[in-house]
């Protein structure tokens, strides 16, 4: 008698930490936009079970899947995957701002960066001048 082959489960039983964070963001954005679960499933073209597992972090979505989700939510792919660093928080803080305001912020950031680079270059010059010269 032939034994049935054991089939590994298709999806995780415990959430992947990164997928769980992304899934929680997706659920949060969906609820923020008052998208019902069923309407969201229909809009993305993904299966009900898959979306449920996606929001719980039980599947690791592909870039193509995240793109479909982002389009349905009228967001960028980056909005879905932004993390917790200061740069990523800055990106998050600009979400929803009109483009002219983002351009103003970017211009200010470029100015601050230029000042930072100039200060760093001055510090290097001062350190170089203060360092004793070697003689052979």
Tokens standing for residue 48: 């009900």
**In the prediction, which pLDDT does 6 show?**
66
Give the tens place of pLDDT for each residue, 44-53. Answer: 999 999 999 9
Give the tens place of pLDDT for each residue, 102-122. Answer: 999 999 999 999 999 999 888
Whether the pLDDT of residue 129 is over 90: the answer is no
**In the prediction, which pLDDT does 7 show?**
56
Tokens standing for residue 33: 């936009």
Closest to 12 in 3D by CA, of 69, 46, 50, 38: 50
Give the tens place of pLDDT for each residue, 8-18. Answer: 566 678 888 99
Q: What is the mean pLDDT of the segment spanning 65-91?
A: 92
* Beta strands per DSSP E along 5-62: none
Tokens 């479909």, located at residue: 68
Query: Which of the 8 DSSP states describes residue 119?
Result: H
Task: Give me the DSSP letters along 46-93.
Answer: --HHHHHHHHTT-S---HHHHHHHHHHTT--HHHHH--SSHHHHHHHH
**In the prediction, which pLDDT does 30 show?**
96
Whether the pLDDT of residue 125 is over 60: the answer is yes
pLDDT class for 31, splitting at 50, 70, 90? very high
């Amino acid at each position: 008698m032939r034994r049935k082959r054991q089939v590994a489960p298709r999806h995780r039983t415990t959430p992947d930490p990164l997928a769980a964070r992304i899934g929680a963001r997706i659920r949060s954005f969906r609820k923020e936009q008052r998208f019902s679960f069923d309407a969201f499933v229909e809009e993305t073209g993904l299966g009900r079970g898959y979306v449920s597992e996606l929001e719980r972090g039980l599947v690791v979505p592909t870039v193509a899947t995240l793109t479909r989700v982002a389009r349905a939510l009228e967001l960028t792919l980056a909005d879905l995957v932004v993390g917790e660093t200061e740069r990523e928080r800055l990106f998050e803080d600009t979400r929803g701002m009109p483009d002219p305001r983002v351009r103003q912020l970017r211009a200010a950031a470029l100015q601050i960066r230029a000042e930072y680079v100039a200060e760093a270059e001055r510090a290097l010059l001062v350190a170089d001048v203060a360092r004793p010269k070697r003689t052979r």
